[in-house]
Chains A and B, each alone.
Chain A
Amino acid sequence: MRLWGMARPMAWLLLAAVLLPVSATGALAAADACDVPEDLAIVHFPADHAYARFKARLPVRILVLGSTSSTGSNLWASKGLGASFKAYPRLIEAALESAAPGRSVTVTDRTAPGQTAALIVQRLPALLAETAADLVIWEAGTTDAVKRIDVNAFGDTLDDGLHFLAEKGIDVILVDVQYSPQTDSLYDFQPYLDYLQQVAEADGVNVLKRHDIMRHYTEEGRFDPGARIPADQVRNAGFVHACLARRLAGMILAAAQQQ
C-alpha cells in the first residue's frame, strides 16, 4: 500500500503526457486510439512458460479469473445489444492472432460475480486442474474494494495466490480495477491499486494498469463511462475492451520474448 493516500496523479499524467510523448514506433501507432503513455505500457517481467509453449509451437492456454468487471453483465443482451459487445477475454485470441500470426492461444473465461481474491485463491487448484493453464490473467481488487475487505488481507491473499501459481511455473498477468468517475466516488480504490502494484512488483508479475489506462482514455475523451444510451454504452465498452485485449496480447508477446 505504498502509494496509500497519494493524490491521483492527474497532474503527473498531464506532465508525463507533455514530457514523455508516446514514441510512435510505427506509422500505425501514431494514430492509434488505444495508445497510452509509455509508463502505463511497461512489461517488466518475462513469461517463461508462455515462451516455452510458443517455442514448441503449442497454443498457450490462458485462464481468465476475476469478477464480472472483466466481462460486463448480460444486461445489454436483454436490449438486443448483447451480441455486439465482446469483453476482453473473448478478444484476446483474435488480438494475438493479428499481432503475431501463428502464435495461438486458447482462452477459458472463469470470471464470476463477487469473486474476491480469497475466493479465487480457494478455487485455484481446481481451476488449474481443470484447464491446465499456462498463463493466468487475474483481475483483482474490484470485489475486495466493493466489499471493503481489509486491504492488508487482500494484499496477503493475492501474494499467496501468486506464490502458489509461481510454484507451479504458471505465468500471471494481473489486471487492476476499472475506472469511472462515478465508481471512484463510491469507493476508494487507490489503496487496493497500490497494494496490487506493490505485490506484483515484489513477486515479479506484470500488471495491466486498467484503471490508469481507462482514466487516460476518459481524460482524452476517447471513452465516456457515463454514457446513458445503451448503444453508446456498448460502443464505449467495446472500445475499451478491444484496447485491453490488444494490450494484453502485446504484453503476452513481449513477456514471452524476454529471457
Chain B
Amino acid sequence: MTVPVTKGAEDRKPGGRRREIRLDVFRGLALIFIFLDHIPSNALNWLTIRNFGFSDASEAFVFIAGYSAVLAYGRRIDDLGVPFVTARIYKRCWQLYVAQLLLFMVFTAQVAYTAATFNNPMYSEEMGIVRFFDEPHVTLLEAMLLRFRPTNMDILPLYIVLLLLFPFILLGLRRWPAGMAVLSLTAYGAANLFGWNLSTWPEGAWLFNPLAWQALFVAGAAAGLAHGRDWLRPWRRTALWLALLYLAFAFLIVLTWHSAVLESYVPTVVGTILYPIDKTNLSPSRLLHFLALAYVAVRLIPGDAPLLSWAVWRPVIRCGQHPLEIFCLGVFLSFAGHMLLVEWSGSLWAQTAVSLAGIGVMVAAAYYLSWYRAMEKAVSAGRTAKGEGGRA
C-alpha cells in the first residue's frame, strides 16, 4: 500500500512496509522550526516547540535521524552486506561534510557583509569575530576539521560523527541490544557527570556533545529497529499518563520563564534540581521531555490517522523527505531572512512575511527535489528496462 503523498518519493520495495509518514511529518516540522528558531528576534519562532517545553527541534532532528538511518540502511544490510551498507553510510557522511563546508562559506559571507556594513565602534568587542579571518589559513583549516564552528553550525558535525558511528551502532543493536544500550547510556552518563566533550577552536567545546547526544540517536535507531512493535504495551496507559504529566509540568515551568511573578512560585528545590537545563550534554530533563513528547505524539497520532492526510501536511512531508538539502537551505534562508529584517524592517509584518517566504522557498525546493528524484528514477528504470540503448 502506498500513501498517495509519498508516491514516487522514496524507494519502498514491493512487500516492504508502508512508509512511516509520521517520520516525514515530524522531520518536516523540525526543519521548519529550526529555520524559524535560527532567525533571532522573530516573533514566529514563538510558535515552535522550544517555547512549550524543555526540548526543541534539535532533539526531534537527531532522534528521527537515528530512526530513519535504520530504515534507510539497516533493513537491507542482510542482502547487501555490511561493507556496501557501510560504504553507503559513509557516502552520506561525505555529503554532510560538504554541506557543512558550504554553510561555512555562507557564514563567512555573512560575517564579511556585517563587518563591512555594521561599523559601529560600540560593538567592537562583539565584532571580534572578524579577527578570526586575520589568519585565514588557520581558520579555514579548523573549519575543515569541523573545529571552527560559528553560530547555528553545530548540528551537522554532530550528525556526521553519529553517522560515522552508525555502522557500529547498527551492528551493536542487532547483535547485542542490551550491551549497546548499556554502552550508550554509560557514555551519556560520563558526558553528564564528568563533562567529557570534544574541543572546538579557538576555545570551547562542541555545543552538541556527541558523547551525550548519541543516546538520543541510538534511542532513535532502537525505535527504528523496533518499528511497529509496541514494546511498551503492558504499561501503555501508565506510560501515556506519565508522559502527559511530565509535558504539563515542563509547560508550566516554561511559562514561569516569561514572568517574574510566576517564577516566584517555583519552589527553590525544583529550581535546584531542574536548572541548569543543559543543551550541550542533553540534560536528562530535556531527554525525558523529548521522549515523552515523542511517545505522546506516536500514541495520539497513529500512522493511519486521518489528520495525516490533510493537505496542509503535504508540503511539510515533502520537506521532511529531503532533510539535508532543506536543512542547509533553511540555515541559509535564516541568515538571509535575518539580514532582511535588519536592513529592511523588523516589524511584526516583516517578520511574518520573511518567515512565510522562507518556508515557501523551502517547500518549493522540496517539491523540486522530489520531482527531480522521481524523474531520475523513472529515467534510470527506463534505461534498465530497455538496456543500454534506451535513452529517455
Give me the interface of A with B, judged by CB distance under 8 Å. Answer: 1-12, 39, 42, 67-69, 72-76, 113-114, 142-143, 146-153, 155, 177-178, 180-188, 191, 195, 198, 202, 215, 219, 225-228, 233, 236-237, 240
- B302-352 contacts to A, CB under 8 A, are 335, 338-339, 341-342, 346
| A6 to B53 Cα, complex, angstroms | 9
> Is B202 touching A10 in the complex (CB atoms < 8 A)?
no
| A147 to B200 Cα, complex, angstroms | 10
* Given A5-B279, A69-B125, A186-B129, A181 and B40 contact (CB-CB distance below 8 Å): yes
Q: Chain B: which residue is nearest A10 at the CB level?
A: B43
* Given A7-B50, A8-B40, A8-B41, A233 and B122 contact (CB-CB distance below 8 Å): yes
> Which of A42, A149, A155, A233 interacts with B203 by CB under 8 Å?
A149
Kindly list chain A residues whose C-beta atoms are within 8 Å of the C-beta of B279.
1, 4-5, 191
Chain B 176-207 interface 0/1 with A at a Cβ cutoff of 8 Å (1 = within): 00000000000000000001010010111101
| A54 to B110 Cα, complex, angstroms | 50
Kindly list chain B residues whose C-beta atoms are within 8 Å of the C-beta of A226.
118, 120, 342
Nearest 3 CB-CB pairs, A to B?
Answer: A75-B121, A73-B124, A5-B50
| A187 to B149 Cα, complex, angstroms | 11
Chain B 246-269 interface 0/1 with A at a Cβ cutoff of 8 Å (1 = within): 000000001001111000000000
What are 6 inter-chain pairs, A to B, with CB distance below 8 A?
Answer: A1-B275, A5-B50, A6-B254, A113-B125, A143-B128, A181-B342
> Is B129 touching A146 in the complex (CB atoms < 8 A)?
yes
> Is B45 touching A178 in the complex (CB atoms < 8 A)?
no
* Given A75-B121, A148-B149, A198 and B46 contact (CB-CB distance below 8 Å): no
| A228 to B117 Cα, complex, angstroms | 8
Say what secondary structure dominates the interface of chain B: loop
Kindly list chain B residues whose C-beta atoms are within 8 Å of the C-beta of A68.
124-125
> Is A150 touching B121 in the complex (CB atoms < 8 A)?
no
> Which of A67, A151, A202 interacts with B280 by CB under 8 Å?
A151
* Given A5-B37, A182-B114, A237-B122, A147 and B203 contact (CB-CB distance below 8 Å): yes
- B30-61 contacts to A, CB under 8 A, are 37, 40-43, 45-46, 48, 50-51, 56
In the complex, which of the residues B126, B204, B346 has the most CB atoms of chain A within 10 Å of its own CB atom? B126
| A212 to B36 Cα, complex, angstroms | 21
> Is B50 touching A1 in the complex (CB atoms < 8 A)?
no
| A150 to B114 Cα, complex, angstroms | 25
Kindly list chain B residues whose C-beta atoms are within 8 Å of the C-beta of A150.
197, 204-205, 280
> Is A1 touching B276 in the complex (CB atoms < 8 A)?
yes
> Is B50 touching A185 in the complex (CB atoms < 8 A)?
no
> Is A225 touching B120 in the complex (CB atoms < 8 A)?
yes
Kindly provide the distance from the CB of A92 to the nearest chain B CB, expressed in whole angstroms. 18
| A153 to B203 Cα, complex, angstroms | 11
Kindly list chain A residues whose C-beta atoms are within 8 Å of the C-beta of B119.
228
B239 within 8 A of A: no
Kindly provide the distance from the CB of B91 to the nearest chain A CB, expressed in whole angstroms. 30
- B117-172 contacts to A, CB under 8 A, are 117-129, 149-152
* Given A7-B37, A149-B204, A185-B114, A178 and B254 contact (CB-CB distance below 8 Å): no
B3 within 8 A of A: no
Kindly list chain A residues whose C-beta atoms are within 8 Å of the C-beta of B258.
6, 9, 12
> Which of B41, B151, B276 interacts with A152 by CB under 8 Å?
B276
Q: Chain B: which residue is nearest A9 at the CB level?
A: B258
> Is B41 touching A184 in the complex (CB atoms < 8 A)?
yes
Kindly provide the distance from the CB of A73 to the nearest chain B CB, expressed in whole angstroms. 4
Kindly list chain B residues whose C-beta atoms are within 8 Å of the C-beta of A215.
41
Kindly list chain B residues whose C-beta atoms are within 8 Å of the C-beta of A240.
122
> Is B126 touching A142 in the complex (CB atoms < 8 A)?
yes
B232 within 8 A of A: no
> Is A182 touching B342 in the complex (CB atoms < 8 A)?
yes
> Which of A4, A69, A225 interacts with B277 by CB under 8 Å?
A4
* Given A6-B51, A181-B341, A73 and B45 contact (CB-CB distance below 8 Å): no
B278 within 8 A of A: yes
Kindly list chain B residues whose C-beta atoms are within 8 Å of the C-beta of A12.
258
* Given A6-B50, A72-B121, A183 and B127 contact (CB-CB distance below 8 Å): yes
> Which of B46, B128, B152, B204 interacts with A188 by CB under 8 Å?
B152
> Is B338 touching A233 in the complex (CB atoms < 8 A)?
no
Kindly provide the distance from the CB of A188 to the nearest chain B CB, expressed in whole angstroms. 5
Kindly provide the distance from the CB of A39 to the nearest chain B CB, expressed in whole angstroms. 5
Kindly list chain A residues whose C-beta atoms are within 8 Å of the C-beta of B341.
181
Kindly provide the distance from the CB of A18 to the nearest chain B CB, expressed in whole angstroms. 14
> Is B124 touching A187 in the complex (CB atoms < 8 A)?
no
Kindly provide the distance from the CB of A11 to the nearest chain B CB, expressed in whole angstroms. 5
> Which of B50, B125, B338 interacts with A143 by CB under 8 Å?
B125
B111 within 8 A of A: yes
> Is B257 touching A182 in the complex (CB atoms < 8 A)?
no
B274 within 8 A of A: yes
* Given A11-B43, A142-B126, A187-B151, A73 and B200 contact (CB-CB distance below 8 Å): no
Kindly list chain B residues whose C-beta atoms are within 8 Å of the C-beta of A147.
128, 202-204
| A236 to B118 Cα, complex, angstroms | 14
Kindly list chain B residues whose C-beta atoms are within 8 Å of the C-beta of A4.
276-279
Kindly list chain A residues whose C-beta atoms are within 8 Å of the C-beta of B342.
181-182, 185, 226
| A134 to B254 Cα, complex, angstroms | 36
> Is B202 touching A72 in the complex (CB atoms < 8 A)?
no
Kindly provide the distance from the CB of B347 to the nearest chain A CB, expressed in whole angstroms. 10
> Is A186 touching B126 in the complex (CB atoms < 8 A)?
yes
> Is A184 touching B40 in the complex (CB atoms < 8 A)?
yes
Kindly provide the distance from the CB of B204 to the nearest chain A CB, expressed in whole angstroms. 4
Kindly provide the distance from the CB of A91 to the nearest chain B CB, expressed in whole angstroms. 15
Kindly list chain B residues whose C-beta atoms are within 8 Å of the C-beta of A76.
121
